[in-house]
Amino acid sequence: MVTGCFRAACFFHRNFYPVNKLKNILLCAFSITLLFACKTSQITIKPIKVDSTKAVINFQQKKVYKFNNDQLLFSNNFASARLNSIKQQNDSTFNIGIAPENEPINPSPWYAFKVWSAKEKNIYITLSYIGTTHRYNPKARVKEQEWKDIDDVKISDNKKQASFKIKAFTDTILVAAQELISTADNYKWEDSLAKLPFVKKQNIGHSVLGKAINALSIGENGNQLIVVLSRQHPPEVTGYMAMQEFIRTVTSNTLLAKDFRKRFQLLLIPVINPDGVDEGNWRHSVAGVDLNRDWENFIQPETQSVRDYLLKKIENEKAKVYFGIDFHSTYYDVFYTNEDQPLNKTNLPGFTVKWLNAFSESIPNFKPNIKPSPNGGNVSKSWMGRVLHAEALTYEVGDDTPRPLLKLKGKVAAEKMMELLLAGDK
C-alpha cells in the first residue's frame, strides 16, 4: 500500500515537473501529502519475529483409574480435566498429583476429575500440587445439579496439599477447582446467542489443535464498536461468568439494550484459548504460552486471529473502538486500567473513569479496586489502547466472589456502559 502511494507521488513529481518553481513546489507538497495520507490510512501490524509454537507442554494421560477390584474409579478422560497421577494409600485414601502444563507458570493450579463407586463409600483425597500452593477450594457436582462447595478442606502447613472427604456412590461425582465450563459448553452458549436476530456468529480462526475461535457481533452499527474478550487463561471461570452476565444484559429486551444495539455494535470473542480450556491447563495454551502476554509480537495463532479480525473489521467499516474489556479472574476483584497517555489519545477520553464511577455508585458498599498501568505492555488492554485507541481495561473477578454478586456486577457494568455511551452519542 505505502509502496504504491510512493510510486504515485513520484509519478506526479516526474510528469508535471518544471513549468515553474512555484508549480514545482506545489507539486512536491502534493506528492508528500499523498504519501503520508496513504501511510496513515494503513493499519500497521508488527511483524512476527519468533515461532514459539515449538514449545511443548506436558499432556496428561487421559484414562480411567481403577481401584479396589474395579469397585472404585477415578477419571480424567473428559474435557477440562486435570489429574496427573493418583496413588492409593489404603482402602479409602488417595493422593492425587496436580501438575502444570509447563513451567514457569502462574500459580493457578486447576484440577478436575470424576469419581464413582460400586457401593456407597467415604473416600479421603489429598491434592498434592507440583511447584505451587493451594488456591482453589474444591467444588462438587452430581449429574446436572448445582455446584456445591466441599466443606472441611484441610490445608497443609506449607500449603502444598489440600485434603478433604467425599462420599462416593454409583452416580458420578465431578470434583473441580471451579465450576467446569468447557469449550463445548461455550460453543453451545455461542449458538444460543446466534439465534437472536441481532447477533451474527463468525469463525475468525483456529487454535494450535484446530479448535474454532469464534466472534459474535451484537447490534447494528458496525462503525461504533465495543470489544469484549474472555478466557485467555483457562481456570479463570469467574471472569467468564461475569462476561456472560454482561452479554446477557446487552442482548436483553430492555429499552436500554435495544437502543444501544441500534447505535453501537459489540464484538465478543468468548474463548480465546480453547485448547488450554479443554486440556485443563493452569494458564497457558498448548504451545506453552501465556496468551495475554502475546499482544505485542503476536506469535500465537489464537492472538493473531483476534488481532486480524478486529483490524479488518475496523478497516472495512471505517470504525472506531470506543471501549474494550478483557474478563479475567484473580484472588480478588480488581480493575487494571490503562494510564492516560497524552501522546496517544483514545477515541473516547475519560470514559473508563466515568464508567467506573457510575458502576460503583450503582451498587451499595462497592468501591472499585482500580490499578492503573502503562499501556505499552504486551497484554490485551494495552494493545487495545495503544493500537485501537480504545478506552480499555482488564476486568478481574475474584476466585471466591459470591456468584450472585459477580452476576449483579456484570449486569450493572453493562447497563452503565450502555447508558454512558448512549448519552455521549446524542
Which active-site residues does the annotation give?
A: 396
* Strands 85-90 and 93-98, bridge-based pairing: antiparallel
Q: What is d(CA 333, CA 316) in angstroms, rounded to the nearest whole number? A: 36
Q: CA angle at residue 231 from 228 to 234, to 5 degrees? A: 175
Which residue in the block uniquely carries the three cell numbers 491447563?
281
Mention every residue, 6+ apart, whose C-beta is less than 8 A from residue 47. Answer: none
Concatenating the DSSP letter of every residue in 318-365 gives T-EEEEEEEEEEESS-EEEEEPP-TTS--SSTTHHHHHHHHHHHTSTT
Q: What is d(CA 201, CA 187) in angstroms, rounded to the nearest whole number? A: 11
Sheet hosting strand 391-398, strand order edge to edge: 199-206, 212-219, 265-269, 224-230, 320-330, 391-398, 334-338, 370-373
Q: What is d(CA 22, CA 20) in angstroms, rounded to the nearest whole number? A: 6
Sheet hosting strand 139-142, strand order edge to edge: 64-67, 72-75, 112-117, 173-176, 139-142, 148-149
CB-CB contact of 289 with 105 (8 Å) = no
* Strands 148-149 and 139-142, bridge-based pairing: antiparallel
Cell numbers at 139, concatenated: 467444588
